[in-house]
Structure 1
Amino acid sequence: MLRTVVAVVVVAVVGLGAAVPAADNIYVPRAVDNPQTPNQILDAIFERTLEKLKSLGWDKYKNVQNGKSEFPFEVNTDAESGETFNIRSAGITGLGSIRRSKSGTFNSNKTVLSGTAVVENVRASADYTVTFPGTGQAPAQTVNGQVTENVNKLFADIQINMKNGVPQSIRNYSVRSGHDDLEQATNLDGNDMAPLHTNGFRKSLRELLESTMASNMKVQINKAIQDMKNGL
């Protein structure tokens, strides 16, 4: 009989513009003075956002705040159990690659600007402890190691309220991610539960990256918009 078991992934931390990306992480500005077209305005917003990230040091590395995600999996047993992932010393790199992803557009009366921001090759790295209490024939185990998850592209689709050609506020904001890959998960060789651990790491760390794009990055983008609104 297949039994559904819910594993809780707990992320506990002890620490955690726009531009065109070029070689060696050098970014070539493409914003212009007095931006007027949709692309020009978006470029100006994301370049200002990059400056905000640099002032915080997030363009290089951002500590990850507390987070939590749950996912179901099935085991071939009648017993109930669960699995807990504790992740510490976690951080994110790659946020400094922020730029406009595609051409922006105005609505018919130019009161709403729509566009997309993207960050590329964003990574979440952490030390982990995974604890399985055991069930049926599966013995209890605790494993420690390091884990790194990469998402090749994180997108933020954004709509911005406009007034007289000047950005005012964020109207809508939604995040989606591209391909992800677990680049590293140490101390799992020979572990019969490695596939389960791997799926848990991928899901929890991808959700951390998406959450950061949906919250922290949104705040910095909004600050850039407010600067433009206030003529700063």
Structure 2
Amino acid sequence: MLRIVSLAVALGACAAIPGQRDDPLRLVGGDPQPLPARAVDNPATPNQILDAVLEGAVQNMQTLGWCESKNVQNGESILPLQVDIIGHSSENLVITHANATGLCSLRRSKSASFNTNQGVLTGSVVMEDVRVNAAFSVQFDGVGEAPAQTEAGQVVEQVEKLFADIQINLENLVPQSIASYKVRLGRDELKKVTNLEDSAMKDVHVAGFRKALREVLKKIMATNVKVQINKSIQSMKSA
């Protein structure tokens, strides 16, 4: 069961849905492939060490099948949205059959660095064009002039860049553990939503989708991807 998220919006809120474009996955022979490896044998510089950690994490995700797609926790997500208009009401937005793509684009986003005694590596990692694809259903009880509604369809949310600022403890330049890990989002878009063209509550629903699915994307980077980075660190530590 995914985490419950609350969102306050007004009926006048506006969230544009840009036109769709092709998914910018890197293709080899028609199949999506992870980014080329940048790691080297016996990494010694900050960039080399972080690249080696991330290459191991991508290999872990590839083994798990996440380079094609990753299911976003089995079950449903009920997301109550509080709507401030003449009165107060709420709508239940349920996301099912969700999956994420683009996870194997994980790479270093800028130059890493050591602290003065080379005991901590500081860097930033990024995944690009990560998407969540899901089915949705929405039930709104209605309030004031806003009519009760029940809608269902498909939704796709994409974030152009999903970052994590990371610090890694080192011993003799060998990664030991994650010291800190903070996730931040770049620009996001709702790439697709169906069956809302004639809905009077479209703006509210769209704002809700974007808020909810951004939280899903952040959670993927903060938990699933972090676990694979840590596994890569532990493999390097044990080698």
Measured against the shorter chain, the TM-score band is 0.7 to 0.9
State the partner residue of 2:124.
116
Taking the TM superposition and a 5 Å limit, the aligned residue runs for 1:62-101 are 62-65=70-73, 72-75=82-85, 77=86, 79-101=87-109
Cα deviation 1:127-164 (Å, max 9, x = unaligned) = 10000011122221100000000000000110000001
Structure 2: which amino acid aligns with 1:110? Q
Taking the TM superposition and a 5 Å limit, the aligned residue runs for 1:151-230 are 151-230=159-238
Measured in 1, the distance between the counterparts of 2:109 and 2:7 equals 35
User: 1:117 offset after TM fit, Å?
Assistant: 1.1
Question: Which blocks of at least 5 consecutive residues in structure 2 are unaligned?
Answer: 1-5, 9-23
User: 1:214 offset after TM fit, Å?
Assistant: 0.2
Identify which of 122, 128, 152 aligns with 1:144: 152
Contact kept in structure 2, 1:7 and 1:84, CA below 8 Å: no
Measured in 1, the distance between the counterparts of 2:149 and 2:78 equals 21
Measured in 2, the distance between the counterparts of 1:212 and 1:68 equals 18
Contact kept in structure 1, 2:166 and 2:182, CA below 8 Å: yes
Identify which of 38, 42, 52 aligns with 1:34: 42
Measured in 1, the distance between the counterparts of 2:234 and 2:190 equals 37
Give 3-state SS (helix, strand or coil) of 2:89's partner: coil
Contact kept in structure 1, 2:108 and 2:126, CA below 8 Å: yes
Measured in 1, the distance between the counterparts of 2:173 and 2:155 equals 45
Structure 2: which amino acid aligns with 1:99? R
Structure 1: which amino acid aligns with 2:47? N
Structure 2: which amino acid aligns with 1:47? E
Identify which of 98, 102, 110 aligns with 2:110: 102
User: 1:192 offset after TM fit, Å?
Assistant: 1.2
What percentage of aligned pairs have identical amino acids?
51
Give 3-state SS (helix, strand or coil) of 1:161's partner: strand
Give 3-state SS (helix, strand or coil) of 1:138's partner: coil
User: 1:70 offset after TM fit, Å?
Assistant: 5.8
TM-score, length basis structure 1: 0.87
TM-score, length basis structure 2: 0.84
Give 3-state SS (helix, strand or coil) of 1:52's partner: helix
User: 1:80 offset after TM fit, Å?
Assistant: 2.1
Contact kept in structure 1, 2:80 and 2:93, CA below 8 Å: no
Contact kept in structure 2, 1:156 and 1:173, CA below 8 Å: yes
Question: Which blocks of at least 5 consecutive residues in structure 1 are unaligned?
Answer: 1-5, 9-20
State the partner residue of 2:59.
51
Change (3 A) 1:64 1:225: same
Identify which of 116, 119, 141 aligns with 1:133: 141
Change (3 A) 1:137 1:72: closer
Following TM superposition, the consecutive aligned residue runs of length 4 or more in structure 1 with deviations greater than 4 angstroms are 66-73
User: 1:190 offset after TM fit, Å?
Assistant: 1.8
Measured in 1, the distance between the counterparts of 2:43 and 2:25 equals 23
Give 3-state SS (helix, strand or coil) of 2:118's partner: coil
Measured in 2, the distance between the counterparts of 1:158 and 1:91 equals 25
User: 1:7 offset after TM fit, Å?
Assistant: 5.5
